[in-house]
């Protein structure tokens, strides 16, 4: 996988260490927590107002996708992102729930 | 905290991102999974036969301790390490359980 498109890894090849690396970042963890509502979110949405440059957000989105956490859907010119929550729950039971429940906020 | 002794951070100051960073490493994750039995483990025990140098293990033990995951107990000349599981369960419900249940192994 080049990572240059919107391809995602098969969940069977996703490791917990790679998932942990991906979410072990304050912004990426907040992205995952936002996506935990189960909805498709536009990549350019105002709810990503994390105080970082758009290119930084693109970088974070890419890391999450390549780690197996998210999936991008392209509809016309709109790119939306969603958490692969059902697949993640099967592969790593309880992990996403635990990440969402964190009480640091 | 200098990290040069066996001090541990107060759990109220431990963040989930720091915990995730600490466990986002294959060896440190395996250490946590080993410690999940709730027992005190000697730092020099044969169950740490992870194929890395002793100084590397010391480094990993230190990172886990400073991240709030473990506590070291010194009894005479024996240093044992244990997971702060009860405290972690209160602060990050479900997180340790999810890390232990990973099915990469």
Query: Chain B: nearest CA to A44, how far in angstroms?
Result: 25
State pLDDT tens for residues A33-81: 999 999 999 988 777 888 899 899 999 999 999 999 999 999 888 899 9
Q: Which residues of chain B from 41 to 100 reach within 8 Å of chain A, CB to CB? A: 91-95, 97-99
Other CB atoms within 10 Å distance of the CB of residue A29: 22
Tell me which chain A residues have a C-beta less than 8 angstroms from the C-beta of B21: 24
Yes or no: say if A57 and A50 are a contact pair by the CB < 8 Å rule. yes
Other CB atoms within 10 Å distance of the CB of residue B84: 21
Q: How confident is the model at residue B2 (pLDDT cuts 50, 70, 90)?
A: very low
Q: In the predicted model, what is the mean pLDDT of chain A?
A: 89
Facing A93 at nearest CB: one of B17, B20, B101: B101
Is the model's pLDDT at B104 over the cut of 90? no
Cα dihedral value B38, B32, B50, A22, nearest 10: 170
A45-52 contacts, C-beta under 8 A, 24 or more apart: A52/A27
Is the model's pLDDT at B39 over the cut of 60? yes
Q: Is the Cβ pair A103, B92 closer than 8 Å? A: yes
Give the number of beta-carbon pairs within 8 Å between A and B: 63
Is the model's pLDDT at A4 over the cut of 60? no
A46-57 burial by CB neighbour count: b if 16+ within 10 A, else e? Answer: eebeeeeeeeeb
Facing A92 at nearest CB: one of B21, B25, B102: B102
Q: In the predicted model, what is the mean pLDDT of chain B?
A: 89
ipTM of the complex: 0.85
State pLDDT tens for residues B40-77: 999 887 778 888 998 999 999 999 999 999 999 998 88
- Quick one: tokens of A103? 């009480």
Query: Chain B: nearest CA to A6, how far in angstroms?
Result: 24
Facing A20 at nearest CB: one of B24, B94, B101: B24
pLDDT, position A44: 84
For the segment B16-39, the average pLDDT, to the nearest whole number, is 95
Which of B12, B13, B17 is the best mutation test for A, with the most CBs of A within 10 A? Answer: B17
Query: Chain A: nearest CA to B36, how far in angstroms?
Result: 16
């Amino acid at each position: 996988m080049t990572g240059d498109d919107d391809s995602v890894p098969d969940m069977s090849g996703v490791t917990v260490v790679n998932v942990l690396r991906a979410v072990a970042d304050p912004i990426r963890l907040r992205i995952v927590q936002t996506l935990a509502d189960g909805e498709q979110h536009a990549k350019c949405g105002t709810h990503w107002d994390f105080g970082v440059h758009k290119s930084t957000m693109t970088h974070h989105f890419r890391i999450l996708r390549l780690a197996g956490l998210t999936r991008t859907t392209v509809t016309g010119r709109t790119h939306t992102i969603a958490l692969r929550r059902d697949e993640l729950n099967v592969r790593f039971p309880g992990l996403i729930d635990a990440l969402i429940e964190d009480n640091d906020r």
